Amino acid sequence: MSLQNDTMPASEKTQVPEVEESVKRNYTVKDNDRQRILRKSSTVFIEISLSFIKASEKSGKLRSQKAKAYIKEILHSIFFLGYISSPSIHPSDIMGENITLRLEKIYPDVFEGYRTKLPLRPPYSILLDVVVETKGSQRVPEILQELLKLNEAMTVPNDDGGKYENVFCFASTVGSQKLIGSMGTVPNVRL
């Protein structure tokens, strides 16, 4: 369906001004920056989350079957979010070709399903469950400290030597820092 009716006289048609070429270029630059940050955030989130999950499994705080389920869910959620972004980001754009091939052998269903199945929750929510399970739900100060530590580890380096907040952690970082406060104390919070 066309926005302008071709049978209408030209004077009655809604005229849409053409976007200036410099504005189009700025959108492209911003979009490229957004895509680059999303790719880097995805890579860092996966690396840090998988390291935390594997370390928790190795230390006996997380059963192997549960660790594998969390890893699959995180990969699926991030790959899906990359896939629906415009332009799409594919797993090999996030992890590189070699690591993607290795992960695809271990978790083939993730690579088969991320384009057709909706994730049940965002990546950070999954990571929160991992932290709560490994720390114990009654240990709120330890949970918050661990989340803050993970958030800090997940910052994304930019091209000029600074850092961006990871797109998957931004809101949670603000919340964790408010709860923990500048003195490093945690208010009495119950989950």
pLDDT in tens, 154-176: 988 777 777 777 887 754 444 44
| 161: in domain | yes
| 109: in domain | yes
Domain membership of residue 52 as a residue range: 29-180
Average pLDDT over residues 131-143: 89
What b/e string do you get for 126-138 counting C-beta neighbours within 10 Å, with b at 16 or more?
bbbebbbbbbeee
| 40: in domain | yes
| 9: in domain | no
For 8-64, how does the pLDDT look when each residue is reduced to its tens digit (9 = 90+)?
455 444 344 444 444 334 434 455 778 888 888 899 999 999 999 999 999 999 999
| 6: in domain | no
| 2: in domain | no
Looking at residue 108, its pLDDT comes to: 96
**Count of the separate structural domains present in the chain:** 1
| 35: in domain | yes
| 150: in domain | yes
Contact predicate 77/122, CB 8 Å: yes
